[in-house]
């Protein structure tokens, strides 16, 4: 699954799916060479930051 920084979920063509947002570990993480990796100790920071962004976008 891929998302925008705003948490909007993208379809296979890379277009946002209307009104569908994602947050948490499945929706964010460091990306290196095109793939997401697990970086110990950073989960709570990036899930909190991007979850807040998704909430703000969904409410807007
Ligand atoms: C032992 C341990 C130590 C860790 N230490 C660290 C650390 O030091 N620093 C760090 O950054 N990360 C740490 N992590 C990783 C971090 O906790 C996770 O990556 C992070 O919590 C993932 O957040 P999430 O929102 O994706 O999922 P979760 O935090 O798992 O949240 C998912 C929520 O959805 C709820 N849920 C599930 N199914 C349903 C349903 N059907 N209906 C309604 N609710 C549902 C669950 O009850 C849960 O509250 C640790 C993880 C573990 C297991």
| Atom 48 (ligand 1) nearest CA | 24
Distances (CA, A) of 47 to 12, 13, 15, 44, 58: 23, 25, 22, 5, 16
Return the pLDDT at 25. 84
pLDDT tens track, the chain, 60 positions: 788 989 999 999 999 999 999 988 888 776 666 676 777 778 888 889 889 999 999 998
Return the pLDDT at 36. 67
Give 57 Cα–ligand 1 centroid separation in angstroms.
Answer: 22
Return the pLDDT at 22. 93
Return the pLDDT at 55. 94
Q: Is 41 in the pocket of ligand 1 (CB under 6 A)?
A: yes
CA-CA distance, 31 to 42, in Å (whole number)? 13
């Amino acid at each position: 699954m891929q998302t925008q920084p705003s948490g909007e979920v993208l379809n296979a063509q890379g277009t946002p799916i209307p009104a569908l947002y994602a947050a948490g570990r499945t929706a964010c993480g460091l990306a290196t060479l095109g793939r997401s990796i697990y970086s110990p100790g950073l989960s709570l920071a990036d899930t909190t930051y991007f979850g807040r962004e998704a909430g703000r976008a969904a409410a807007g």
